């Protein structure tokens, strides 16, 4: 009897085949941009055997790290926005990225453990991100609900606290590495990426991405409200825990690779949502590729224009901040206008 309403609900949703085609197209675009950007840089490479050129290999590893970090931040942002039904949700805005940064710096301060850096760095980052996410959620929760503006305020507070902790960790940093520390805090990818660290963090991002996509249907139901989602069989409480943990894991992996890069998780899901609609299957699927594309392009641009500005290596976090801050202000003003209307 209810086949007609069911058909109406699913008429606008893409089929699995359509999603697969879109994913393949996005993957092809990402791979093409990656291949192009590995050939772009201030240093020339051997055109005949470019794939074995040391400069190309360093550049490819760095861009792969940028892609993994961008995908992790974008997927985390899309999942958090869907969970909280809040367009301002973002790992950086909510203090999760800075919490992961505290974890990374605290782990690196324990230099005696350097033998297992590939696991130590993301592990400490995950602990810091999880503590920050839990703190923000606890502060913003009122009468069993998460207030959107309390969430932003809590994120600001946690970001300030984490910033102070990161500054305090300067005291435990080798004076000869202070400049490296400062650049990392601005969101700069290292000149030479540790392959084992990239493998671990890339695997964590892919795992978090797959887990979030698996819960896309539940996030679609949650968009209708908690009560409706529960009536459809969605375990809302367990979903919140799962999404927050998965987002913290993806953010931790990104920060372990590239530092606390800002606003990628805010901008990319919004652009994808405007282009494809609100279905979280599409948003989560394509946001990962969108984040990778943004970070690959931004890293290549920063490496290209840095020498012309007398800055050498320009941290990619500076560019994303310059793009993201006006974007965030525009979203906030739009939210105020909608509430006043």
Predicted TM-score (pTM) of the model is 0.87
| pLDDT (0 to 100) of residue 77 | 95
3-state DSSP assignment of residue 278: coil
Closest CA to 203 of 90, 72, 22, 104: 72
Phi, psi of 186 (to 5 degrees): -85, -5
What contacts 205, CB < 8 A, 6 or more positions away?
68, 69, 71, 72, 75, 250, 253, 254, 288
Domains of the chain are 63-335 (1.10.3470.10)
Q: 37, 297 in Cβ contact below 8 A?
A: yes
Alpha carbon distance 246, 207 (integer Å): 9
Question: For the chain, first and last CA: distance in Å?
Answer: 39
Closest CA to 14 of 284, 222, 242, 224: 284
| pLDDT (0 to 100) of residue 10 | 44
Alpha-carbon Rg of the chain, whole angstroms? 20
| pLDDT (0 to 100) of residue 23 | 94
Low-confidence ranges of the chain (pLDDT < 50): 1-11, 112-115
**Cα–Cα–Cα angle for 222, 82, 238, rounded to 5 degrees:** 55
Q: How far is CA 252 from CA 33, 75, 115, in A?
A: 25, 12, 20
Quickly list H helices, 191-263: 195-214, 216-222, 226-231, 236-258
Alpha carbon distance 334, 296 (integer Å): 29
What contacts 332, CB < 8 A, 6 or more positions away?
88
């Amino acid at each position: 009897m209810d086949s007609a309403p069911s058909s109406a609900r699913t008429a606008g949703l893409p089929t699995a085949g359509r999603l697969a085609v879109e994913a393949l197209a996005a993957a092809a675009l990402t791979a093409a941009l990656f291949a192009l950007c590995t050939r772009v840089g201030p240093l020339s490479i051997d055109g005949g055997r470019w794939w074995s050129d040391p400069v190309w290999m360093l550049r490819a590893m760095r861009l792969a790290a940028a892609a993994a970090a961008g995908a992790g931040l974008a997927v985390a942002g899309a999942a958090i926005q869907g969970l909280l039904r809040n367009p301002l949700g973002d790992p950086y805005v909510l203090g999760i990225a800075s919490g992961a940064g505290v974890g990374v710096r605290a782990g690196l301060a324990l230099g005696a453990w350097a033998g297992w850096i590939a696991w130590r760095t993301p592990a400490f980052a995950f602990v810091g991100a999880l503590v920050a996410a839990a703190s923000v959620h606890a502060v913003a929760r009122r009468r069993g609900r998460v207030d959107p503006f309390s969430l932003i305020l809590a994120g600001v507070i946690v970001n300030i606290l984490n910033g102070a902790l990161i500054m305090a960790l300067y005291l435990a940093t080798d004076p000869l590495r202070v400049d490296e520390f400062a650049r990392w805090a601005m969101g700069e990818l290292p000149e030479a990426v540790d392959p084992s660290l990239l493998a671990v963090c890339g695997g964590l991002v892919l795992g978090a991405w797959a887990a979030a996509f698996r819960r896309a249907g539940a996030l679609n139901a949650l968009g209708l409200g908690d009560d409706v989602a529960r009536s459809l069989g969605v375990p809302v409480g367990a979903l919140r825990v799962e999404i927050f943990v998965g987002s913290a894991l993806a953010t931790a992996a990104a920060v372990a690779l590239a530092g606390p890069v800002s606003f990628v998780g805010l901008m990319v899901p919004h652009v994808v949502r405007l282009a494809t609609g609100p279905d979280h299957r599409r948003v989560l699927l394509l946001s990962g590729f969108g984040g990778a594309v943004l970070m690959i392009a931004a890293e290549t641009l920063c490496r290209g224009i840095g020498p012309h500005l007398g800055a050498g290596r320009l941290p990619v976090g500076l560019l994303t901040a310059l793009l993201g801050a006006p974007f965030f202000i525009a979203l906030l003003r739009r939210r105020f206008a909608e509430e006043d209307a």
